[in-house]
Amino acid sequence: MLLSLFGLMFWALVVAVPVWIFAGLFPALLSALCVVVFAHMRNLWQLQRMARWLSGTDLLADGRWRGIWAEIVQRIQRLLVQREKQVAVARHRLQRFLEAIQASPDGVTLLDDQGRIEWCNDMAAKHLGLDAQRDLLQHVVHLVRDPVFSKYFAQDAHDSEVLIEGRSNSLSQHVKLSVHLYAFGEGQQLLMTRDITSVSLADAMRRDFVANVSHEIRTPLTVLSGFVETLQTIPLAEEERQSYLHLMSVQAERMQSLVADLLTLSQLEGSLPPGKHEKTPVPELMAQVFSDASALSAVLSGHEGEERGPVHELVFEPAPAWIFLGVRSELLSAISNLVSNAVRYTPAGGRIHVKWSRNTDWVTFSVTDTGPGIAPEHLPRLSERFYRVDRSRSRETGGTGLGLAIAKHVAQRHGGELRIESQVGVGSTFMLVFPASRMEYMDGETSSVSL
Ligand code: ADP
């Protein structure tokens, strides 16, 4: 600036001094004035050029600027480059921030001070049935048409969340959403949505489970306390007393089995999947299962006092010389449940066929009976806790309703599964399928043990 002022004075002097010498003071002053006017006109022209340049789009292009104008343009260009870098960094950060919110398992919707949608992530769009592009600037209450939500939105304070039905409901599943509004900025709001379908399902299952357990325990308890009262108040003949005591012990045993099964289930659910260090010889295990099955079949004959024997044809194929690599008590429990079910549900005279088989990938334990069979609609629910097809037969024979749930858990914990095939009027086959790696061959040549 100072330089250009000196430049102007220099040129005014260069022109005015010779004129002063040759033509006198007045023409000299006039010529100096002409120089100043010329310089001023030139600056006005440059200013106009600059105004045009500033309103253009390509501010970083090289124009032909001189002197102080070149300096001004350079400074503006430097500032522009700096600002562009800052904008790029801010844009990158915003992008990463939005990506992070997109990745959130919860729905996030930003609302302006009027309650209109400014932005929402994909999860919020899915939860609330929104279109992230089309529904921008629409009022959220017009789109989320749920009376509970409308009432909640209209409140002044939103200290807690509310539960509403999700939009991704299908016939088979009702989606439950937890919705919470948080205030931020100047009147804006953050709408958080969370899918709590599985949590509420788990809650409902827990409530059902507690109700079922209470019901299962209450029945024998009521019977027991009735007998106790009778024994206390009515003088009975010895024979009657013995019969009452027998019935009482049956009910007590029922409660014991229920508690034992509940404990087994909770242990199965609460412990880590079993390793392969525990080794159980299959023949020894099957010998125990066979003797238990024979005893149960004899007991179920109901021929009091007579010499009892199994009333079913129990066909146990020779147990293979294998060693199970898993928890012995769990395998015994699973197999015993399947075999005892076959005995309990198959009428006297029926046939129960037990065998092990193997292919390269899997080993299978199967029990086939000639019992009543199970209708297809029951099969998917059969391993649910307390699910029974034949309630009275289950109770009569001391069933707890937990046997198949235990068998399924045991199979899954060992990397396998429980399979059921059944035909009404023909019979059923229950299978425990384990990965072949869970079974190793015994040393030596003993290939099988007959039962
Ligand atoms: P429960 O103690 O009642 O036998 P389970 O979980 O072992 O409970 O079995 C569930 C239901 O499956 C039983 O109540 C019964 O109705 C049915 N079921 C199980 N095994 C058989 C079978 N071999 N034949 C017919 N029905 C069976």
> Could you report the per-residue pLDDT of 137-166, keeping only the tens digit for each?
999 999 998 999 999 999 988 999 999 988
Distance 417 CA to ligand 1 centre (A): 17
β-sheet bridge partners, residue 439: 324
Architecture (CATH level 2) of domain 199-271: Orthogonal Bundle (1.10)
The reported pLDDT for the residue numbered 65 is 82
Q: Which residue has the tokens 């900025």?
A: 185
Q: At what angle do helices 25-54 and 67-103 cross, to 10 degrees?
A: 20
Query: Which residue type is seen at 301?
Result: S
Which atom of ligand 1 is closest in space to residue 400's alpha carbon? 2
The domain spans of the chain are 2-99, 104-195, 199-271, 272-451
Q: CB-based contacts of 217: which residues, under 8 Å, 6+ apart?
A: 255, 258
Which atom of ligand 1 is closest in space to residue 371's alpha carbon? 24
Residues 364-406: tens digit of each pLDDT: 999 999 999 999 999 999 999 999 998 888 888 888 999 999 9
Which atom of ligand 1 is closest in space to residue 391's alpha carbon? 14
Distance 294 CA to ligand 1 centre (A): 19
The reported pLDDT for the residue numbered 56 is 83
Written as six digits, the tokens of 415 are 């990397």
Average model confidence (pLDDT) across the chain: 90
End-to-end Cα distance, the chain: 113
Which of 255, 378, 382, 410 for mutating ligand 1's site (highest number of atoms within 8 Å of CB)? 382
In this structure, the residue with its CA closest to atom 23 of ligand 1 is 342
- 340 ligand 1 Cβ < 6 A: no
- 297 ligand 1 Cβ < 6 A: no
CATH class of 272-451: alpha beta
DSSP helix/strand/coil, 236: coil
**pTM of the entire structure?**
0.69
Q: CB-based contacts of 92: which residues, under 8 Å, 6+ apart?
A: none
Fold for the domain defined by 104-195:
Beta-Lactamase (3.30.450)
